[in-house]
Structure 1
Amino acid sequence: MARKISELYEMQVYTSDGQYLGITEDFVFDDVEGKLAALVVSTGRRGEKRTIPYDAVKACKDIYIVQV
């Protein structure tokens, strides 16, 4: 399913066991492969960010589910 990148910002991110990680703040795009490489997640702790490889994404609809 194709989606606009603008629809994916500020989505909640959870681990596959239900732990809340934060919200999507940015994305890393691999221009050689032509696909998303990673999510940049804001954890809400003093500007802390976490980068999660896009291949760790297990589901994406209203929220992201990731395997970390």
Structure 2
Amino acid sequence: MKLKAVIFDIDGVLIDSVYANAVFFERFFRKYAPDVKYSKSQYIERNHMTMWDIIKHFTKAESDDEVRRL
């Protein structure tokens, strides 16, 4: 069977990705910033933010370079 189309759901319209993203950040902080106090409910309150802004918020990074180092 030949594919005629591919649908990308990058903003959670078709599939609710909030929980999966919350788990991702939980694992990310555990590995790269273990001193960060993080919970899934805190992420859900901020799921409208970009990945970079979420990392900056929780790590208290003062620059984009600090975020990139993580």
TM-score between the two structures when normalised by the length of structure 1: 0.29
Q: Highest Rg: 1 or 2?
A: 2
TM-score between the two structures when normalised by the length of structure 2: 0.29
